[in-house]
Amino acid sequence: MLDKLEDGPWPSFVSGLKRLASAEDKPYAGMMKGLLGQLERSYETKRGYWKGGTVGVIGYGGGVIPRFSELRGDDGKPEFPEAAEFHTLRIMPAPGMHYSTDSLRKICDVWEKYGSGLIALHGQSGDIMLQGCTSQNVQPCFDEINEMGYDLGGAGPAVRTAMSCVGHARCEQSCYDEIRAHTQIINAFLDDMHRPALPYKFKFKFSGCPNDCMNAIQRSDMAVIGTWRDDIQVDQDEVQKYVAKNGRQSVVDNVVTRCPTRCVSLKDDDTIAIDNRNCVRCMHCINVMTKALSPGKDRGITILLGGKRTLKIGDLFGTVLVPFMKLETDEDFDKLQELGQNIIDFFAENALEHERTGEMIERIGFANFLKAIGLEPDPSMVLHPRANPYVRMDGWDDEAGKWTARHSAKAAE
């Protein structure tokens, strides 16, 4: 059946598996023949045949995904003995997934020596997935990869490998230094990554602008999204060129009427005016007129918390925790790290087993969570205030007084 997946124009993973299985001079040819045998069986029976277990490296409690074949004959022996152990090593790539060919080739060389020769670039978690290693070879393989400067990523109830967009490296829409944020935050939580002891997984993702190319809002517990406070930068000459090239109707249909808060006007001289106070930083007009428009200069981040996939209460979006903070100075980055630390500490102490941050917050209430980690409520955190009166409000005067005090202090600055 797998042969049928070698036809067609898209690159075939099956052809790749077969190349490995037929590399008779390599140590993994037998393992990959076994792998193809098991996979073919799955295609025939529509069943999976892997089970987990416990495999790791010395000094760490996670980062290896153990896989043992369940296909056994009547004698209890594995049907495909050479593929009976087929573990994955999760390796953290550099932020932005940059590689020199030299480093990729070295990874291939190590992996040929100890593993199957099969690499997923990359897993949904953002890891390099070295797929197919025997229990015996996990340690020496990791040792050599580790000597190259790579470290294991996260698995299980742990801080996970993060992802960040190409950002500053090649995108004018990038609003903060994603590589610096990614590196500092993850390196601050390596203990929680390598020695899994949290209630469940905790993911950071870093997107340089609200286009959120890393899917951070829906796929991470803590989403760091670039944004700006001042006005969108406009090059009116480029606007006029765009209008001349594409026509006024195109600008009206594709820019003006697509602005979610109707902030953009096309003027009679084919320049545009933007009502920046009402701009929600959605990125649409900037995405369309890439030469004419770019994010403002007073840049920073919005932080959302609690995104996750379906297990167990259904998919959750991250929701706004910090509407805006600067992320430029050492102090700013330390503040981000401290916030992450506070949230993870609270999560570790208060979440139920196998409960994600979003589920924990839903269970205890967002206002209670804010209070617990010492953040003040902000109207940007909600789409609208509560619509039902069933809440005890005898602390109103205190809370309203705090708000007034904060705002008069800000006004005095």
Partner 1 sequence: MSSPAKPRMPVESGVPDAFQFMHPLLKKNYGQWKWHERPRPGVLHHMAESGDQVWTIRAGTQRQMDVFTVRKLCDIADKYADGYVRFTIRSNIEFMVGAEAKVAPLIAALAAEGFPVGGTGNSVRMISHTQGWLHCDIPGTDASGVVKALMDELHEEFANERMPNRVGITTSCCEINCGGQGDIAVNIQHTKPPKINHDLVANVCERPAVVARCPVAAIRPAVVNGKPTLEVDEKKCVCCGACFPPCPPMQINDPEHTKIAIWVGGKHSNARSRPMFHKLVVAGLPNNPPRWPEVAAVVKNILRTYQQDAKDWERMGEWIERIGWPRFFELTGLPFTPYHIDNWRGGRASLNASAHIRQSAVNGSAQ
d(CA 395, CA 75): 71
d(CA 315, CA 358): 9
Options 55, 83, 141, 152; binder of partner 1; rule CB under 8 A: 152
Quickly list H helices, 296-356. Answer: 330-350
Question: In this structure, what are the phi and psi dihedrals at residue 396, rounded to the nearest 5 degrees?
Answer: -50, -50
Both structure tokens of 152: 């294991």
CB nearer to partner 1: pick between 19 and 406: 19
d(CA 182, CA 160): 12
d(CA 148, CA 338): 30
Kindly state whether residue 281 participates in binding partner 1, applying the rule CB under 8 A. yes
CB nearer to partner 1: pick between 294 and 373: 294
Options 353, 394, 397, 413; binder of partner 1; rule CB under 8 A: 353
CB nearer to partner 1: pick between 170 and 406: 170
- Helices 366-373 & 357-364, crossing angle to 10 degrees? 110
167 neighbors 212 (Cβ within 8 angstroms): no
From the CB of 335, what's the least distance to partner 1, in Å? 20
Q: Any idea what the Cα angle at residue 316 is, between residues 313 and 320, rounded to 5°? A: 140
Kindly state whether residue 213 participates in binding partner 1, applying the rule CB under 8 A. yes
From the CB of 131, what's the least distance to partner 1, in Å? 6
Q: What residues between 376 and 395 interact with partner 1 by CB under 8 A?
A: none
Query: How many of the other CB atoms lie within 10 Å of CB of 22?
Result: 12
Stretch that binds partner 1, among 268-276, 311-319, 371-379, 395-403 (CB under 8 A): 311-319
Options 24, 74, 147, 330; binder of partner 1; rule CB under 8 A: 147
Q: What residues between 314 and 333 interact with partner 1 by CB under 8 A?
A: 314-315, 317
d(CA 226, CA 304): 11
From the CB of 16, what's the least distance to partner 1, in Å? 4
If binding means CB under 8 A, how many residues of this protein chain bind partner 1? 126
From the CB of 47, what's the least distance to partner 1, in Å? 6
Kindly state whether residue 76 participates in binding partner 1, applying the rule CB under 8 A. no
